[in-house]
Structure 1
Amino acid sequence: MTFPGLDTDADNLAGLAYAVTSPDDERMNAEQLVVDLGGVPVWIAESDRTLYHAALVLGANNLISLTAASMQALSAAGVADPGMVLGPLVRTSLENALRLGDQALTGPVRRADLGTIGSHVAALRERAPELLPGYLQFALVTAHRAKAAALNTAEELDRVVNLLRTEVAEERSGTVE
C-alpha cells in the first residue's frame, strides 16, 4: 500500500496483502500478526524480497508518474481538468489490466499504427519534450509485451519497435530533424 503521509493512511490497512518473510519456527506468529492487523499474509522468500519490492514500485510509483505526466500533457493541450478526463480511462485500464494482463492492451502500439505513433512523437517533441523519453520507453515496453502476447503480428510490432528505437536514438543523440 502507498502511504503518502495523509491522516487517512491508516484507514487503508485492513484487507491488505502483507509480504511476510520469517524463519519457519516463527511462521505462525508472523501470520497471526498480519491477521490481527486485518491483513492477508503473502509469503515471500528472503531471496525474492527485492524483486517483490521492485514489482510494487513498477505498479505504484510508476503508475503515479505516468498519470501525472498524462495530466501534464492534457494541461498542455488546454484541458482545464485533466483528472476528470483521465480518471475514467485510467481506472478502467487498471481494472482491465488486473483482470486480463497484457490482453487489456489497446492503442496505437498494439494496432501497430505507425502514423499515430509518429504524430504523438511530433506533438510531444514540440509541446512537452520532457515527456517524450518516457513515452518512447513505455511504448517500447508495450510493443514488446504486445509481441510476446501475440496481440498483433510479429512483423507489425517489429516495425513499431524499429520506429521507437530510432526515435529513442535520435532523442539521445540530439539529432532530431
Structure 2
Amino acid sequence: MGRGFLLMLLLIALPAAAQIYKYTDANGNTAYSNQPPDGVVAQPVELPPLNSVESQAPAAPPVDAVTDEQPSSEYEVLELTNLPTSEALRANNGTFTVNVLIKPRLRGPHLFRLLLDEQPYGQPGNVPALQLVNIDRGTHSLAVQVISGENVVQQSPTVTFTVQRVHKP
C-alpha cells in the first residue's frame, strides 16, 4: 500500500479535530498515527481543510404550467369505476351512478368533485358513489377530483364514454 493511501485511510477513520503525527518506525518506514509513539521523534502533519458538503433543502415539486398548482399524489389509487368504455352506457332517462376507487380512503377535509366534460358537476361530497342526472346522449368525458376547499389535491384519469338513451317523441 502507498503512503498516500494510508494517510487517506487515517484521515477517514479519525475525527476531524484529531492531530496526525508522522514518524519513522523501527523498520525505517514512514508511519502515521493519531498519537506519537513513546521514544520516537514525531512531527505533526498539517492537514488541509476537509471537504464538506452543505445539505440541500429538497427541491420543490414541479408546478403545473396550466393550473399553476403543484401536482400531488396523496392517494395511490384514484379512478372512476362502473363506466363502460367500449360500449354505450344505456341510461333511458340519462341518470346513472359512477363509483370512485380510492386508496387509501378519503382523508379529513377532502371531498370528491366530478368533472363532466371538463366542468365541475354537482355538489362535492365524501361518498364514493356519485350520481349523474339527465345527461344528454352522446360522448362525454368524466373525471373525479379530490379537493380541499377550492384547491385540487389530485385528479383521476379522464374516462370517455357514450350515453345512449331513449327520447320520447
TM-score normalised according to structure 2 size? 0.18
Question: Which structure is higher in helix share?
Answer: 1
Larger Rg belongs to: 2
TM-score normalised according to structure 1 size? 0.17
Question: Which structure is higher in strand share?
Answer: 2
